[in-house]
Amino acid sequence: MKGGRLRRAWPYLLALGPGLLAASAGNDAGGIATYASAGATYGYGLLWAMVLVTLFVGVVQEMSARMGAVTGKGFSDLVRESFSLRVTALILLTLFIANAGIIVSEFIGIAAAAELFGVSRYFAVPVAAVFVWLLVTRGTYARVEKIFLTLTLAFLAYIGAAFLAHPDWHAVFRETVLPHPRLLDVGYLNLLIALIGTTISPYMQLYVQSSVVEKGVTPEEYRYTRFDVIIGTVSAGLVAMFIIIATAATLHKHGILQVDTAERAALALEPIAGPFAKALFGLGLLGASLLAAGVLPLSTTYVMSEAFGFERGVSRTWSEAPIFMGLFTGLVLLGAVLALIPGLPLIKVLVGVYVLNGLLLPIELFAMLRLVNDKELMGEHVNGPLYNLLAWGIAIIVSLLSLLLIGQTVLGWFGVGT
Amino acid sequence: MIFLTSLVDRPVLGQAGETIGKLEDLIVRIGDSYPSVTGLVVKDGRRRFFVPASHLADLNGAALLASSIVDLAPFTRRDSEVLLRRDVLDHQLIDITGRRIVRVNDVQLTRVEGTYRVVGVDVSPQALLRRLGPRALANRIVGRQIIDWSDVQYLASTAPVQLKVSYDRLADLHPVDLARIVDALSYRESAEIVAALDEETAAETLEEVSDERVADLLEGMDQERAADILEEMTPAAAADALEDLEDDVAEQLLARMEPEEAADVQALMAYDEDSAGRIMTTDFVRVAENATVGDALAIVRSLEEVPDPLLAVYIVAVDDPDLLRGIVRLRALILASPQTPVLEVMDEDVPTVGPEDRAEDAARVLAEYNLLAVPVLGADGHLLGIVTVDDALAVLLPEIWQRRGARAGFA
């Protein structure tokens, strides 16, 4: 009997992969900075949002994976084939800007990690850029990917740190279920949108959908993929919550309300790692940043080239695929150069990138909703009415929050508001 | 020259110049060598109508109908009908001469003996710019890159209806180029292409496709066909592919293969992925040591399938065909007179490798001794197979360089 149950569980376990990976990829340099900032500045005050955001991510990732399984096509393919060219250009442009921002943030992550180890970023960032460029164009990236991925496990230490810091569990629970949202506080709203932006990054949806397409998952096998998506989302959400708890119970409690340097973010790991907190944090940050600094420029370039039909592939020469190679090189260069601007407030920029991501997100969400509800594409696998209510609700809430932030910011310029 | 994007969303006019609606799409039958337009989809408000091509007087500039009173049948999708805007424009095609995947930025039509036909697709970036900018500016942007329709392969999975598509054009592609395309397409599109190939071409193609994609393709296809393709693949490539499959699927496929081929593949699977045993071929010619050069050549000629490349014959003991005595290179075999005993032209001092040795070490031996193939001997000294320069090259060069070389070679 037990064997039978095990056999039924096996396909689910085998399917664990893309969803889990995509969700953990959210915990990159920008993600950590955002969660740490949320914990330091507002204590447990944003925990409730993390629960909601996790639900949002789950819904959005699930739709992406389902679209991949049913249509057998990637998101940008579907956009190009279903929307008019002008709308396609708009959607892909926002995707491009969002991804370019994140690429910059990854190089900032590399800079911050290097400085934790006392290495100048003017040395580390150019070296990392050349390293990543060579790895990808020589086709050896896949071999080192696992090393980077292993390094990111360092962030799991936040879970231990959260427990060892003896947080006020009552407050944790209360703030999670009975929140006091401060939506008129620009700083709070900023972080709320950054939380959404970093957790529901468009590139994660692209990744989930394209890996489902790559594997040739059929609608019949889709439930295993859905299981993977749910597990991935929940575990990434939990890690994010523990980062908030750990920083709230250490930094916030001791009056450190701003996480403006990587050292401060590392401080939250002291309860578990003691004097090694900085090293542990630095390794995790380096791994996560290098991982995404290689994957993102490449996948962004693929998405753009595929949608517009440019010759593509890292094995091509410059003369064979000038736009592909130029775009890839340009993105790596852009990330590296911007990360080297002297006096750049690193952590602020990291959070800022995700605010931008959150602001651009509604465009992707509405495009996704159009596609997932297209009967000709999805047949019987379109959203059900209740699910649609939830999905539309998410898209509208995210859009309203974005509008609210823009409004607040504009009012702020005129000296009105907080 | 008529282009699709300058027609769609433009008014459809009746005989008297009255507006009947907007041109939504053109219907074509894809089976023809140059697909003919069989009808128009006209949109009036929210309703979509079908207008047969027989009513069409002119398409130049705007669609003009020959009659004013049209039987306005509502439009429904039917099998074997493709919509040019919905299913071709902005979709991917395979450019056979260019050996690449392209995206259709515009569709070129022309009138041939009263029928409008699709003659080519524009894949230029300029066509994109023309469509992105305001219409008034479109004519200022010059430059097109037209691919003739007879030079493209349309994929049936692109359209949401049942289509019969001829894949004859794929035969013009070299398996290496096919493999590159199979790797670059989505799984479903690549499965469609592989399904259209004969077993031999499919095998040659899959040998060059990435291991993960091969595993997915084999798993997705009918097991009988998968087994047939595996039989056609080199045992080393088949072993690599099977290893990436789940164990029970691999076993089922092996069970469906011809026992002889399956045994070869299983023998290779016993060795590590990067070992000499894995990349060796068991396909070589054995000649007993008491034979003459003439006998050896006769043995080669009598084989049903002669190894390719044929570099040398392997001289073995009379009573034990697995006991290697030496090799006779093809060159020596041709130069010697037929009566010469093979022992006289045989090289005895042949370097050998073990099956557990790393593939790179086998390649090094080949390079150091200037050999074209090195025999692989088991622990008991028995001849198991040979590693050829071809096999070794694939190990030494990263996959991408190999592909780039192949591309340059055929350009």
| Whether the predicted pLDDT of B407 surpasses 50 | no
Residue A103: count of CB within 10 angstroms of its CB: 25
**Parallel, antiparallel or unpaired: strands B2-3 and B383-388:** unpaired
Whether B188 and A77 lie within 8 Å, measured CB to CB = no
Task: Give the mutation candidate from A10, A13, A77 for the B interface (greatest B CB count, under 10 A).
Answer: A77
Question: In CATH, which superfamily holds the domain spanning B173-270?
Answer: MgtE N-terminal domain-like (1.25.60.10)
Distance CA A307, CA A85 (A): 10
Asked if residue A367 lies in contact with residue A67, where contact means CB atoms within 8 angstroms, the answer is no
Give the pair of three-digit tokens for residue A58: 């789950």
Q: In Å, how far is B398's CA from the nearest CA of chain A?
A: 8
Of residues A383 and A259, the one with the higher pLDDT is: A383
Whether B184 and A313 lie within 8 Å, measured CB to CB = yes
- Give the residue from chain A lying closest to B215, CA to CA: A215
Distance CA A265, CA A281 (A): 8
> Is some CB atom of chain B closer than 8 A to the CB atom of A240?
no
Query: What is the rounded average pLDDT of the residues A31-42?
Result: 88
Asked if residue A27 lies in contact with residue A236, where contact means CB atoms within 8 angstroms, the answer is yes
Nearest CB neighbour to A309, from listed B103, B191, B398: B103
CATH of domain A2-413: 1.20.1740.10
Whether B191 and A80 lie within 8 Å, measured CB to CB = no
Residue B286: count of CB within 10 angstroms of its CB: 14
| Whether the predicted pLDDT of A414 surpasses 80 | no
- Give the residue from chain B lying closest to A375, CA to CA: B160
Whether A85 and B131 lie within 8 Å, measured CB to CB = yes
Residue by residue, DSSP assigns B60-92 as SSSEEES-SS---EEP---TTEEEIIIIITTSE
Q: In Å, how far is B90's CA from the nearest CA of chain A?
A: 6
**Which positions in chain A touch B105 (Cβ < 8 Å)?**
309
From A147, A113, A60, select the one nearest A350 (Cα to Cα).
A113
Lowest mean pLDDT among A285-294, B196-205, B333-342: A285-294
**Which positions in chain B touch A325 (Cβ < 8 Å)?**
none
Asked if residue A50 lies in contact with residue A257, where contact means CB atoms within 8 angstroms, the answer is no
Whether A213 and B187 lie within 8 Å, measured CB to CB = yes
- Give the residue from chain B lying closest to A317, CA to CA: B404
- ipTM field: 0.78
For the stretch B116-129, pLDDT in tens is: 999 999 998 888 88
Q: What angle do helix axes A121-137 and A277-308 make, rounded to 10 degrees?
A: 40
pLDDT for the residue numbered A20 = 61
For the stretch B148-200, pLDDT in tens is: 999 999 988 888 788 888 888 888 899 989 998 998 888 888 999 999 999 99
**Which positions in chain A touch B404 (Cβ < 8 Å)?**
315-317
Distance CA B295, CA B287 (A): 8
Boundaries of every domain in chain A:
2-413
Boundaries of every domain in chain B:
2-78, 85-163, 173-270, 285-396
Give the pair of three-digit tokens for residue A185: 């506080």
Q: In Å, how far is B375's CA from the nearest CA of chain A?
A: 31
> Is some CB atom of chain B closer than 8 A to the CB atom of A144?
no
pLDDT band at A11; cut points 50, 70, 90: low
**Which positions in chain B touch A214 (Cβ < 8 Å)?**
186-187, 212
Output the average pLDDT for chain B: 86
Long-range contacts of B332-340 (CB under 8 A, 24+ apart): B333/B293, B333/B296, B333/B297, B336/B293, B337/B293, B338/B292, B338/B293, B338/B294, B338/B297, B339/B292, B339/B293, B339/B294, B340/B292, B340/B293
DSSP state of B112: E
Whether B102 and A313 lie within 8 Å, measured CB to CB = no
**Which positions in chain B touch A216 (Cβ < 8 Å)?**
187-188, 191, 216-217, 220
C-alpha distances (whole Å) from B240 to each of A337, B222, B268, B378 are 43, 19, 9, 21
Supply the pTM of this predicted model. 0.81
Question: In CATH, which superfamily holds the domain spanning B285-396?
Answer: CBS-domain (3.10.580.10)
Query: What is the rounded average pLDDT of the residues B102-125?
Result: 91
3-state DSSP assignment of residue B177? helix
**Which positions in chain A touch B131 (Cβ < 8 Å)?**
85-86
- Give the residue from chain B lying closest to A217, CA to CA: B187
From B328, B337, B374, select the one nearest B353 (Cα to Cα).
B374
pLDDT band at B340; cut points 50, 70, 90: very high
Fold classified for B2-78: SH3 type barrels. (2.30.30)
Q: Note the helical H segments in B149-246.
A: 175-184, 187-196, 199-206, 211-220, 223-232, 235-243
> Is some CB atom of chain B closer than 8 A to the CB atom of A12?
no
3-state DSSP assignment of residue A315? coil
